[in-house]
A and B are shown apart, each in its own frame.
Chain A
Amino acid sequence: MIPTPNVDWLALSPVLALLGASGLALLGAVLLPGSIRRGFAALITGAGFVSAGILAGVVFGESETARTVIAESMVRDRLAALAQILIAGAGVLASMIAWGERRRAHGSEYYSLLAAAGAGMIFLVSASNLMTLFLGLEWFSICLYILCAMDSGRATSLEAGLKYLIIGSFGSALLLFGSALVYGATGELGLGSIAEAVSAQGLAGDELLLAGLALLITGLGFKASAAPFHMWTPDVYEGAPTTISGFMAAATKVVALVLTLRVLTVAFPEQEHLWTVAVAVLACASLAIGNLAALVQTNVKRLLAYSSVSHAGFMLIAIAAANELGGRALLYYLIPYGSMSLGAFAVVAARERELGRAATLDDLAGMGWERPFLGVAMWTFMLGFAGFPLTGGFVAKLYVFAAAYEAGWWWLIVVGVVATAVSLYYYLGVVRALYMRSPAAGLAVAGGSPPRDPWLLAAVGLALAVTVGSFFFVQPLIDVARDAVAALPL
């Protein structure tokens, strides 16, 4: 008889909840009459994300000390649980925004894949060895490849799917290659075991290991869309269904950055002097490229894509700081960042649904006056991205700078400040379009009055509440982030 590992069902429960939702939604596509399929799938997916979030909350409460479960393939700790809550939150918002897409074909499959992607992400953030890491990465990536190409009627959607598939697979291949090299050097797969093997066998300067580390950082950089591995981001965000772009901007960042922090600090503590520099360089490149490229964008989704590249840069600063404050900064940053991203994409989605085509900055002209709530929300998200007070974006940047200062990287603060100054131009450009331009003559709403979309409005409202609320209630969020980071050897 084969010995089976003890399974910690609680640690797995968020994943299982979403997988169950995904499966049910898919079954609904076969068993239910066409008229209620989409509603059923949407409801089940939303419920799946909500219950995954609640279960992750329970895991957070029950996991004061970190431990590996299921034969050291996964780790059950508060870091993973917090990241899972964030992903589940992004999923809930994405399900709400997706409702108004009024997708006729493959409605159930769409929601089913969304839930499956969420499940993969939730699985991935708790990965504690290189095998589960790769497995989780492919799991959610494959779901996203399909979701990106879902609007097969639009050429840009197919292009997005194909580009993401090819470049994403390239990134995954690099990650796999890196894992193989690290395994070859140390003979270990578990993140903690790698660090132990390195110190036990004196491998700190081993070329094989370092090459593996470099490839791992590269692979994770692809997923986090950090420059210079960001090339896919603008095309994919532009072409994918807008809901999916928002979900990717928020949730994929959570996964990739939390994972980067975990892999680097847990498996490679002895190489800290090397990877901090590498991550800092990636951060600077992302800040430079993301912000400069965003300056010249006219399509709002591309602009937000480059903005997400630049925010990856800010969050990489927190990782490069490699201290406890940096971990806190990263986890706090993800909260307002995720809600602002989803909210901003939701507003773009609302405008696209109104106009029946992709929205450029010119198409936003006058929207602030026509739809006051969406206008104020978009305005707040843009100010939040730019790090203005009264949004969590300000506190997030403050923490990132504080972490960099504590690590002695004062020049990273300078880079961050310059990047923020540049970013003002395009973020305020959106505000300018919303309020200070009069709409072009032909800019008529496609179907008369704007489509009623209460779920989208509710999602924007929630995102707005988190964006502003995280500014006023910093202490509780930081406490949670501190508990989560305590799981890491920082």
Chain B
Amino acid sequence: MTTALILLPLAGAMLVWVAPVARHLLGPLAFLVALTEVALWITALGRFDFSTGGLQLDQRTSWFGDLSVSYHVGLYGFSLWLAGLTTVVAAAAIGYACWARRERPRAYFGLMLFLLGATVGVFTAQDLLVFYVFFEAMLIPLYVLVGVWGGPRRVAATVKLIVYTMAGSLLMLASIVVFGLSQGTFDLVESGVSENDWVFLGFAVAFAVKAPLFPFHGWLVDAYRQAPPELAALLSGVISKAAVFGFIRIAIAKFPGPADDFQVTILALAAFGLVYGSLLAFRAPDLRGVIAYSSLAQMSLITMGLFAFSDLGADGAILQAIAHGLVSASLFLLAATIERRTSTGEFAHLGGMARGRPALATVLITTGIIALAVPGSAAFAGEFLILAGVYSVGWGWAVVGATGILLAAMYMLRLISAVLHERGGRAVPSAALDLRPAELALIVPLIACLLALSAWPAAITAHSFVTDVLK
């Protein structure tokens, strides 16, 4: 079942690459595969036994025995939710790309499906090498997708993205070799815990780059600004969550001692990143800049929750990861629709778009309100739990966290008013249409998921079973 979740998009990618199908049908074909993937995930959700938790639907086959490496995949509660986030956001992203008619569709949609498969693989990996393989496999399509279909300064963005990510990944590879050989197995379920600070740091840096945490966020803004918008949605909404999975499943679960030693350092970096990212988001001159820096802030907040080492913090972090994934993806897709109408994301040229465009205004405001964690929203529940978690570490952390949430309200309201309200921007032609039904059909489901989580946050907090791996 889990293998099917990984293989379906990969097989779909192969199909898109080689099938003799007319070019204009490739996008719909990829979208169909992505929707099937969502359906498959719903089936997995149905098969998952929430009364027991633990590792479920797992599959294991020996890969090479002399180093005890096996292809081992399976789902914990939180993996299931992260995989679900991946399938849903990827379906919306591929749908959007299909609607926006990207050039060279064969390569584009194949790579998007490949990226989807690799990302699901990361969230389900139960062997360190399998994890690394999928972690790296995500990077290959990302590199090309940004480098070929990105904005005007895409090459510089890809170089930064690759340099940062690979520096982290290679440190992780060295750590994996040392950890796996010293444990005698690379299997995450079988291996014990390690007390080696250096090995822990190798993993922690890799995940800190992926998240990103301050000061490893240098690649973030360029990548989010230059990537095609639906890819930016995937990148900030889903792929950054690989860091969340890595922190939980490897850095904290396998290195309780070192994680404890570095708790204050990481909390401090995350707290700083939260405030710093929020302030930058408040100052950013364009749509994507705000979303990118808010992503930095939110990922920092999630990391704070994880490193609170309490059930509250961890459950809150998972809920917040899912909520932020959906929010961020919706915002990037909305940014795409706005850029499509005005050819710019600069606030200086935007404004007054609410007039005559009720659907756009409603959807953007709803997403924005959830993003700024208004009480009753999923983001509020997540942030509340995270704050409660870090409060048990020290009240100061909770104060910084609360400041960050306050700043979130500032930058989100600024974004909303700069786009929708104020005087009509120069770049906004009066003929620019409201959201089309196709666009609504892609964004509204994401928001519906958010509203559902707002109504029932316990769907995730009570069913993520993070403690299964943190025993």
Contacts and interface: CB of A to CB of B under 8 A. Distances in A.
Contacts of A390: 133, 137, 140
A394 interface: yes
B62 A475 contact: yes
B413 interface: no
A405 B199 CA distance: 13
State the 7 A-B residue pairs at the shortest beta-carbon distance, nearest first. A389-B133, A474-B64, A401-B177, A417-B170, A436-B147, A389-B136, A475-B64
Interface string A134-150: 00000000000000000
Contacts of B143: 428, 431
B132 to A, nearest CB: 7
Interface string B112-153: 000000000000000001001110110110011001100000
B181 interface: yes
A474 B147 contact: no
Given A398-B129, A401-B173, A435-B144, A410 B178 contact: yes
B73 to A, nearest CB: 15
A390 B162 CA distance: 18
Given A405-B177, A405-B181, 19 more contacts: A369-B104, A383-B140, A388-B139, A389-B132, A390-B137, A398-B129, A398-B173, A398-B177, A399-B67, A405-B178, A413-B174, A417-B174, A420-B170, A424-B163, A424-B166, A474-B69, A475-B63, A475-B65, A478-B66
A32 interface: no
Given A390-B133, A475-B62, A421 B140 contact: no
B155 interface: yes
Contact of A417 (B69, B163, B173, B181): B173
A343 B458 CA distance: 54
B147 to A, nearest CB: 5
B227 to A, nearest CB: 14
Nearest to B198: A410
Given A402-B181, A413-B177, A417-B174, A428 B133 contact: no
A482 interface: yes
Contact of B67 (A369, A402, A435): A402
Contacts of A354: none
Nearest to A376: B17
Given A388-B136, A417-B174, A428 B162 contact: yes
Interface band, chain B: 20 to 34
Contacts of B399: none
A297 B136 CA distance: 26
A485 to B, nearest CB: 11
A72 interface: no
A406 B181 contact: yes
B354 to A, nearest CB: 39
A402 B140 CA distance: 24
Given A328-B66, A401-B174, A436 B155 contact: yes
A439 B147 CA distance: 16
Given A389-B137, A475-B62, A421 B177 contact: no
Interface in A410-434: 410, 413-414, 417, 420-421, 424, 428, 431-432
B128 to A, nearest CB: 11
Nearest to B104: A369
B167 interface: yes
B155 A432 contact: yes
Of B69, B104, B129, B140, most A-chain CB atoms within 10 Å = B140
Interface string A307-335: 00000000000000000010010000000
A428 B148 CA distance: 13
Contacts of A417: 170-171, 173-174
25 contacts: A369-B104, A388-B136, A388-B139, A388-B140, A397-B173, A398-B67, A398-B129, A401-B174, A401-B177, A402-B67, A402-B181, A405-B177, A410-B178, A413-B174, A413-B177, A413-B178, A417-B171, A420-B170, A424-B162, A424-B166, A431-B143, A431-B144, A435-B147, A436-B154, A436-B158
A326 to B, nearest CB: 13
B151 to A, nearest CB: 13
Contacts of A397: 173
A266 B69 CA distance: 31
B121 to A, nearest CB: 10
Contacts of B170: 417, 420-421
Contacts of A395: 64
Nearest to A476: B64
Of A383, A390, A399, most B-chain CB atoms within 10 Å = A390
Given A388-B136, A389-B133, A413-B174, A421 B166 contact: yes
Interface in B157-172: 158, 162-163, 166-167, 170-171
A421 B136 CA distance: 13
Interface residues of A, number: 32
B181 A478 contact: no
Interface of B: 62-67, 69, 104, 129, 132-134, 136-137, 139-140, 143-144, 147-148, 154-155, 158, 162-163, 166-167, 170-171, 173-174, 177-178, 181
A389 B133 CA distance: 5
Nearest to A474: B64
B308 to A, nearest CB: 32
A431 B148 CA distance: 11
A402 B174 contact: no
Of B143, B163, B174, most A-chain CB atoms within 10 Å = B174
Given A398-B129, A417-B173, A478-B64, A436 B181 contact: no
A314 to B, nearest CB: 13
Contacts of A428: 143, 162
A334 B158 CA distance: 31
Contacts of B69: 474
Nearest to A395: B64
Contacts of A414: 174
A328 B144 CA distance: 34
A383 B133 CA distance: 13
Contacts of B147: 432, 435-436
Nearest to B178: A405
A478 B167 CA distance: 29
A432 B148 CA distance: 9
Contacts of A406: 181
B344 to A, nearest CB: 24
Nearest to B180: A402
Contacts of B178: 405, 410, 413
B280 to A, nearest CB: 28
Contacts of B144: 431, 435
B167 to A, nearest CB: 6
A436 B63 CA distance: 35
A424 B158 CA distance: 12
Interface in A381-409: 383, 388-390, 394-395, 397-399, 401-402, 405-406
Contacts of A405: 177-178, 181
Contacts of A328: 66
Nearest to A413: B174
Contacts of B137: 388-390
Interface in A461-490: 474-475, 478, 482
B29 to A, nearest CB: 18
A420 to B, nearest CB: 6
Nearest to A390: B137
Contacts of A413: 174, 177-178
Nearest to B202: A417
A144 to B, nearest CB: 35
Contacts of A475: 62-65
Nearest to A328: B66
A397 B64 CA distance: 14
A410 B179 CA distance: 12
A482 B66 contact: yes
A432 B147 CA distance: 8
Nearest to A419: B170
Nearest to B143: A428
Contacts of B104: 369
B88 to A, nearest CB: 26
